[in-house]
């Protein structure tokens, strides 16, 4: 959410930013919020005049009573009552307008960074850099679900009976590989100096509204019936919400956290749920990184964070590339974002395994997260990035480590988490 003072003083700049995000339907909101802000300030000014007048009259009443001018004093008291009634009406109207203003401000997108490429949607995202040599083996790689099933590691049929489409059972060594990836990701980030955290997996609506846009919420979040609680779509939601309404001492910055959670998503929209595989599902697990820092340090952290995800996948012998998200592909709260994509030797192309974003003070403003410095309090910048979301990240590991016979080589970094096992093989039938 932008500062209304900024909108008031930079109306055309805010409109230009909306155009860059191809959201012209929101252009009228800028004039609407400026007009609402004007009305609120007028009511405030009128209220200040009335309060000053009430104070003067109150002093006069005291003097009149001391002079035994009771009738005149009572007339003045009635005037105070009238002023109080008028103030109640003004304050009620001010509250109503402030609520309307906030609701409209929540829909106006955050100002994007000047370095963000302009484009309408994700088809216009820009490749930045490749890491590792994308290799296509001289044998045909099976679909990841078929590989897992052949190794006794995936059962979507049973999950369909218990939960419906978009769910799965992971079994045996495939389930163990899934857990090993998350455990390795946890330790990988702890070694980078991040503090490990397991957050609540449900949050209240006011936190949801603080960390994401309404459109994202409707497309992603599951609501718990008859409760003011939502299942999280990523642990970032809980992790940022942890600091709601807090004033953090500047000497405690930056705050760098890595969090584990299951994630739940409706996946409403064009992509939908993947029928057979594990790429787009309703439930998955994720290791995330979240940073709260001074605004001037945000871009340095942004570059460090996406590089950690690159380093993580490269340590698993998975080639990756970074992709700069264009203006039209940025969620409304994001200032700048890039995707990390892993190489798929089966598809002979890259696919998304992580996303890194800096959100400026958007979440901090919505949730009231500030730092206390020498020159007073100020809003913090917040950033988030995926270390790994599995089973999607597991697909990348499987495809880049599968052998011609369908067995899977376990990357060296994961072997300690797999009891020293080096290969996932077919189980002998008894």
User: What are the structural domain ranges in the chain?
Assistant: 4-105, 122-424
Closest by Cα among 129, 111, 138, 255 to 193: 255
CATH number listed for the domain at residues 4-105: 1.10.287.40
CATH number listed for the domain at residues 122-424: 3.30.930.10
pLDDT at 100 over 60: yes
171, 153 Cβ separation under 8 angstroms: yes
176-222 pLDDT per residue, tens: 999 999 999 999 999 999 999 999 999 999 999 999 887 777 778 99
How many percent of the chain have pLDDT more than 70? 98
pLDDT, mean of residues 366-386: 96
pLDDT at 430 over 80: no
The pLDDT value given to residue 274? 72
pLDDT, mean of residues 314-337: 97
Q: From residue 205, give the alpha-carbon distance in Å to each of 162, 202, 292, 317.
A: 28, 10, 21, 41
How many percent of the chain have pLDDT more than 90? 86
Domains 4-105 and 122-424 share a fold: no
The pLDDT value given to residue 268? 60
pLDDT, mean of residues 33-59: 93
387, 403 Cβ separation under 8 angstroms: no
Closest by Cα among 128, 121, 116, 103 to 17: 116
pLDDT at 269 over 60: no
The pLDDT value given to residue 345? 97
Q: For residue 404, report the phi and psi dihedrals to the nearest 5 degrees.
A: -60, -30
Q: Beta partners for 259?
A: 197, 288
Number of H helices, E strands in the chain: 13, 18
Extract long-range pairs of 55-60: CB within 8 Å, 24+ residues apart.
57/83
Write the DSSP symbol of residue 60. H
The pLDDT value given to residue 429? 47
The pLDDT value given to residue 272? 62
Closest by Cα among 405, 182, 386, 389 to 278: 389
Mean pLDDT of the chain: 94
8-32 pLDDT per residue, tens: 999 999 999 999 999 999 999 999 9
pLDDT category of residue 129 using cuts at 50, 70 and 90: very high
Instruction: Give Cα 264 to chain centroid, integer Å.
Output: 14
141-170 pLDDT per residue, tens: 999 999 999 999 999 999 999 999 999 999
**CA 44, CA 185: separation in Å to the nearest integer?**
52
DSSP 245-306: T-EEEGGGPPEEEEEEEEEE----SSS---SSSSSS-SEEEEEEEEEEE-GGGHHHHHHHHH
pLDDT at 35 over 50: yes
């Amino acid at each position: 959410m932008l500062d209304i003072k900024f909108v008031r003083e930079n109306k055309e700049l805010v409109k230009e930013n909306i155009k860059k995000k191809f959201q012209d339907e929101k252009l009228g909101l800028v004039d609407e919020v400026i007009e609402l802000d004007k009305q609120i300030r007028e009511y405030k000014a009128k209220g200040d005049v009335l309060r000053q007048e009430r104070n003067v009259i109150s002093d006069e009443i005291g003097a009149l009573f001391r002079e035994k001018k009771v009738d005149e004093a009572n007339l003045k008291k009635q005037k105070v009552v009238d002023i109080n009634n008028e103030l109640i009406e003004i304050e009620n109207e001010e509250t109503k307008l402030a609520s309307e203003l906030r609701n409209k401000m929540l829909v106006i997108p955050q100002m994007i960074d000047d370095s963000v490429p302009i484009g309408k949607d994700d088809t216009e995202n820009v490749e930045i850099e490749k890491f590792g040599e994308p290799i296509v083996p001289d044998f045909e790689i099976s679909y990841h679900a078929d590989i897992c099933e052949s190794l006794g590691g995936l059962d979507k049929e049973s999950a369909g009976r218990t939960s419906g489409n978009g769910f799965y059972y992971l079994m045996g060594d495939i389930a163990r590989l899934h857990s090993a990836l998350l455990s390795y990701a946890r330790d990988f980030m702890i070694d980078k100096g991040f503090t490990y955290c397991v957050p609540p997996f449900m949050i209240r609506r006011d936190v949801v509204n603080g960390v994401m846009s309404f459109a994202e919420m409707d497309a992603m979040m599951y609501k718990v019936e008859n409760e003011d609680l939502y299942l999280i779509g990523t642990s970032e939601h809980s992790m940022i919400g942890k600091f709601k309404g807090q004033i953090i001492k500047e000497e405690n910055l930056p705050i760098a956290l890595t969090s584990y959670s299951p994630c739940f998503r409706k996946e409403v929209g064009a992509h939908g749920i993947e029928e057979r595989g594990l790429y787009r599902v309703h439930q998955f697990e994720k290791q995330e990184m979240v940073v709260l820092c001074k605004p001037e340090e945000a871009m340095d952290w942004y570059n460090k964070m996406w590089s950690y995800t690159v380093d993580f996948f490269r340590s698993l012998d998975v080639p990756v590339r970074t992709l700069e998200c264009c203006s039209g592909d940025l969620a409304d709260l994001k200032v700048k974002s890039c995707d990390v994509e892993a190489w798929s030797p089966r598809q002979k192309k890259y696919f998304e395994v992580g996303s890194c974003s800096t959100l400026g003070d958007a979440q901090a403003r919505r949730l009231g997260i500030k730092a206390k410095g020498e020159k007073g309090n100020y809003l913090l910048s917040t950033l988030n990035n995926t270390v790994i979301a599995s089973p999607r990240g597991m697909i990348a590991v499987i495809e880049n480590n599968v052998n011609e016979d369908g067995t899977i080589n376990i990357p060296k970094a994961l072997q300690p988490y797999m009891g020293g096992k080096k290969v996932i093989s077919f189980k002998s039938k008894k």
